Amino acid sequence: MLRILAVVTVIWLALLPPLFTAGACTREFDAEAQRLEAERANYTTLDAARGYWSGRNVSYSVLSYEQCRKSRPRWLEVCGKGPLLHARVPVRNAVCSLYRDDEIRVQLQYDDRGRLERVQTDMNPFRSLPIPFLDYTIHWGR
């Protein structure tokens, strides 16, 4: 019986941390999105973007229009007119990284002349559990 209680306690403790993030995961995502917006002038061309991400020590990959047409990645809905730079910014908060997502994905789509056309940031969403009759919602990894 003691072993069962120990297992239940360990499972319960493993499930608790994402309930007490107090919005830290969403704040980290929003901070990265705001930083990208504030530093938009630093990546208006593909060459500038390569320098920008290298300077921040963030891993990135560039997908040409031809590569995209041949084999479009699953995470991309439609290929643009020019190259696509896909950067993966690591999440610093350990609880968010473990329970929600370990990276913030940034897509910079350029047109056929190398000008920035679209910026998109993504992170796995947090989950919510509404409690009926109490008008209360529990957020997981918010």
- Quick one: which of 85, 91, 119 has its CA closest to 104? 91
pLDDT (tens digit per residue) in 67-118? 988 988 888 888 888 999 999 999 998 888 777 778 999 999 999 888 999 9
User: What is the spatial distance between Cα 27 and Cα 138, in angstroms, rounded to a whole number?
Assistant: 18
Model's pTM, two decimal places? 0.79
* Phi and psi, residue 50, nearest 5°: -60, -45
Q: How many CB atoms lie within 10 A of CB 78?
A: 7
pLDDT of 45 > 90? The answer is: yes
**pLDDT at 20 (0 to 100):** 66
What would you measure as the largest C-alpha separation in the chain, in angstroms? Answer: 69
**pLDDT at 135 (0 to 100):** 79
pLDDT of 129 > 70? The answer is: no
